[in-house]
Each structure stands twice: as structure tokens, then as C-alpha cells.
Amino acid sequence: MGTIFAALGYITFFWRTFKSSPGNRLVECGSMTLIAFFAFLAVESLSKPGKVPDWLILVWLMLVVLLCFSTIFFVAQRAYQALRRQRGL
């Protein structure tokens, strides 16, 4: 039960962060990644073993992995832009 409340608290926190940063793709993508991950944990902890179909778990995990890679891309993009500004290119 504590896991569910913790997951809901984190989802609420990251949703507020997402809504307060419009246009910031790094924050938006990172928040959506964490929301999807914690929602997945909440669904898994609420359901009985074997109740959630395997295909749904696979699709959900693929979504989380795709969002993780997107977040890493936006971090790399920001690092590249910061290096370009620092060198004056």
C-alpha cells in the first residue's frame, strides 16, 4: 500500500513539473518517462500476478525505454549547445 501512495505522490509531482515547463522538451520528456515508469509500478503492485497481459507489459516497457532514450538525446543536445556557446562557435 505504501508503494501505491509513493507512486501516486511521485506521479503528481512530475505531472506538476511537466505542466509548469511548457516548451522545455528535456523536462517534459523526463517527466513523462518517470510518470510512465511509476504508473507501471503502481499497476503491477495493484494487480494480481498474471492479471496484466504480457503484451501490455511489453508495450509499456517499450514506451519507457523510448522515453528514456529521448531524454538522453535532449540531454546530449543541451550539452552540445553548451559546448558550442562556450567555445564561441
The model scores a pTM over 0.85? no
C-alpha 64, offset from chain centre: 7
More confident residue, 9 or 74: 74
**pLDDT tens-place string over residues 27-41:** 888 888 888 888 888
Domain range for 33 is 2-87
Q: Output the CA torsion 75→81→83→89 (10° steps).
A: 160
- The total number of structural domains in the chain stands at 1
Cα separation, 25 vs 6, in Å, equals: 25
**pLDDT tens-place string over residues 31-78:** 888 888 888 888 887 788 778 888 888 998 999 999 999 999 999 999
In this prediction, residue 1 has a pLDDT band, given cuts at 50, 70 and 90, of low
- Residues of the chain by 3-state class (helix, strand, coil), percent to 5: 85, 0, 15
pLDDT exceeds 70 at position 80:
yes
Answer yes or no: are the C-beta atoms of 47 and 81 closer than 8 Å: no
